[in-house]
Chain A
Amino acid sequence: MSSDRVQLFATCLGDLIVPEAVADADLLLREAGFDVVFPRRQVCCGQPAFNAGHRKAARRVARTFARAFSRHAPVVLPSGSCATMVSHYLPELLGTEPYDVWELSAFLAAREIDLPRRNEGRTVAYHDSCHMLRELRIHDQPRRLLEQTGATIAMLPRPDLCCGFGGTFSVRQPEVSVAMADDKLAGVPAVGAEVLVTADPGCLMHLRGRSTRTGGPAVVHLATALARGLDG
């Protein structure tokens, strides 16, 4: 076992909605010299059911994670909320030992990697996803990495305010959910940013879906912004 081996977890939304961001995460890790393995049996962490209260269903799906990943190398994933699920809830749900789980930007920042200045002169807004901010306490790392690529971060009025996705909340209370997205999106041009960056495929799917409908700003995954620049 090599000490710089990492296991990449695409997450279901990553795999289905933003596979390019997963490839970008893979690229970033390889460029930083890590030996990236992609466990073939991975599916999903079970969070959609878990957060809706369906623990049996969540357990059934979460077992795919336990079957696919080993505890001998860090698990890195481009999603703050799945990282929270896997590190905070999954061990208790399955009655297993914890895994060494890292959200991508926290991992890259902890290993002090260098990033090329792909976003020189660009102004971006960063959206803190809730679980990443409040459960994992990851605040500075994604911002620092974006700045390393030359981007200027325009401070949203409330970067910490939930975007309204919230898993099944987005379809249980669709009107409130969309209104929350509108508040978030409206802040982007207001602070002079061209693009909204987020580290969570869930927030991204919701915000991009709304922004496409209303002609709002582009919403880009952090991994893409770091690996290939804001224009992808």
Chain B
Amino acid sequence: MSGLAQSRDRFREVARRKLDDERVQEAIEVSVARLRSHRLEAWGELENVEPLRQRAHEIRMRAVRDIDRYLEEFTRALEARGGHVKVCVTAEEATAYVTDVCRRHEAKLVAKSKSMATEEIRLNAALEAAGLRVVETDLGEYILQLGGEHPAHIIAPALEKTTDEIAVLFSDVEGAPIPAEREVLVRSARERLRGVFLEADVGITGANFVVAETGTVVTVTNEGNARLVSSLPKVHIAITGIERLVPTLADLGPLLQLLGRSGTGQRLTSYTHLVTGPRRAGEEDGPDELHVVFLENGRRNLMGTKYEEMLACIRCGACLNVCPVYRKTAGEAYGPVYSGPMGAVLVPLLVGLDRAPSLPHASSLCGACTEACPVKIPLHELLLELRRDLVEQRAARWRERVALSLWSFAWSTVLGYRLSTWGARLGRPLARRLGPGRTWAAGREIPPLARKRFRSWK
């Protein structure tokens, strides 16, 4: 769990570094602008996106409000098909379970396809510590893994990398320099990864949805890697948060229509893969063993609370691509896994507000996220609620509490208001040297306070 926590000052420190890097600024701007306009185009193709969003919201909330029931239903359905289900309360429990499955099969090589949940529990590190070789097979994540980095963007994880940087990383793998040309680089990755798909003993995927009714695991990708990872190795482990359940197979309709459109602006991603159980007698493809690992890791904190709607999130990334703050900072500032508005809401709820106190404030509350969310999560309202809880749980800074408290007493009467603003005008020469005034004045002029107010003109 501690993997997601971050200190109060970290967001600002990372953000500053990103702002100073012109290349990163350009890369983010291009990427989010492209993804945003593709989403708007794809939403625009629908006759009316609103009823679809509303349906998707209802489907997700039906599942989220009754997780235990659907977990049970899913477990029954998958076990009837010969699959195994494990619900893990903590990250450690989940990594231990996965490591254990790998050990039992004497696995050496693990192929992975993109999964935020495995990043959340730092699965790769745990498996590597157990002596396994783990290879990410999503192209973007493969690049980051070679560079020793972690994905902090849901869509386009390697958006900050240039082809030159990628060529250096790939040349290392090839043991010979290869040119910084997209086609050559993609060919190199494809050849290397093909070997991994064929040789891997265990394949690990995430899940975009899991269907309770049928015991089905759904993955969507554009590279087809989830399909290979889940069908070539002898063992397939799918890891997902408990909230990714949907009640019925029919519920996938609206959700899949929105997921592709909202993430990359595609009507559907290239591959939508439904796995229901391991290979059965007489079937040629598929693993001998299938494990579905459900991760709690703090998610129960949200159930039945005013934050419950956050569990409806389908990790499409739409809120990231419209967020004016994310557009400047990119993902890393928000922490190692979840970023943008969804990360700013989710992470403090998973780890506790005192362990991620800057995230609810990493937003100007502009509301663009709420407008873009395909499942209608009121993200900016939830951020506001989190700020309220920060204060009520006394996780807000004491000097902020004192300052606002004094301010509110002064401004509770007209006389106090006049006296305080009169004082502020006298103190203006000092303002640029102290506290928030100084912070403000580092990049902006402090406005002169009007000598003559409208109220005295009349």
Cβ of A179: which chain B residues have Cβ within 8 Å of it? 19, 328
* Contact A16:B413 (CB < 8 A) given known A54-B404, A206-B444, A210-B444: no
**Stretch of B87-95, B118-126, B279-287, B386-394 with 4 or more beta carbons under 8 angstroms from chain A:** B386-394
A108 to B409, CA, bound (A): 35
Q: When the two chains form their complex, are residues A164 and B364 in contact, meaning their CB atoms are under 8 A apart?
A: yes
Q: What is the CA–CA distance of A173 and B18 in the complex, to the nearest angstrom?
A: 13
A130 to B331, CA, bound (A): 23
C-alpha gap A51/B363 in the complex (Å): 11
Say whether A176 contacts B328, CB under 8 Å: yes
Chain A residues contacting B16 (CB-CB under 8 Å) are: 175
Please tell me if the beta carbons of A53 and B325 are within 8 angstroms of each other in the complex.
no
Query: Contact: B361 with A56, CB < 8 Å?
Result: no
Interface centre among B15, B360, B404 (most CB of A within 10 A): B404
Say yes or no: is A138 at the interface (Cβ < 8 Å to chain B). no
- A58 in contact with B408 (CB, 8 Å): yes
User: What sequence of 0s and 1s flags, for each residue 373-412 of chain B, a beta carbon within 8 Å of any chain A beta carbon?
Assistant: 0000000000010111111000010001100110111011
Residues of A within 8 A of B429 (CB): none
Of residues 325 through 341 on chain B, the ones whose CB sits less than 8 Å from some CB of chain A are: 325, 327-329
Select the stretch in B70-78, B239-247, B299-307, B434-442 that faces chain A.
Answer: B434-442
CB distance from A42 to the nearest CB of B (A): 8
Tell me which residues across on chain A come within 8 A of B452, comparing CB atoms: 19
Task: Give the total of A residues in contact with B, Cβ under 8 Å.
Answer: 64
CB of A17 closer than 8 Å to a CB of B: yes
The answer to whether A134 and B388 touch across the interface, beta carbons within 8 angstroms, is no
B288 at the interface (CB under 8 A from A): no
Nearest-Cβ distance from residue A86 to partner chain B, whole angstroms: 15
Count of interface residues, chain B, beta-carbon cutoff 8 Å: 60
Q: Is the CB of A44 within 8 A of B411?
A: yes
B140: chain A residues at CB < 8 Å are none
Per DSSP, chain A at the interface is helix
Residue in contact with A40 in the complex, picked from B386, B396, B455, CB distance below 8 Å: B455
Contact A51 B387 (CB under 8 A): yes
| A53/B368 in contact, CB under 8 A | no
- Indicate whether A166 sits within 8 Å of B417 (C-beta atoms), given known contacts A23-B454, A55-B388: no
A-to-B contact residues, CB < 8 Å: 10, 12, 14-19, 22-23, 26, 38, 40-44, 46, 48-49, 51-58, 60-61, 63-64, 130-131, 134-135, 160-162, 164-181, 205-206, 208-210, 212-213
Interface residues of B (CB under 8 A from A): 11-12, 15-16, 19, 324-325, 327-329, 358, 360-368, 370-371, 384, 386-391, 396, 400-401, 404-405, 407-409, 411-414, 417, 421, 436, 439-440, 442-447, 449-450, 452-455, 457-458
Q: Given A22-B454, A43-B417, A49-B407, output 8 extra A-B contacts at Cβ < 8 Å.
A: A40-B455, A43-B414, A52-B404, A53-B389, A162-B366, A169-B361, A174-B439, A177-B364
22 A-B pairs with C-beta separation under 8 A: A10-B453, A16-B447, A17-B447, A17-B450, A19-B453, A26-B454, A38-B454, A44-B417, A49-B404, A52-B400, A52-B404, A54-B401, A60-B409, A61-B408, A61-B411, A64-B413, A130-B364, A167-B364, A169-B361, A172-B12, A175-B443, A206-B444
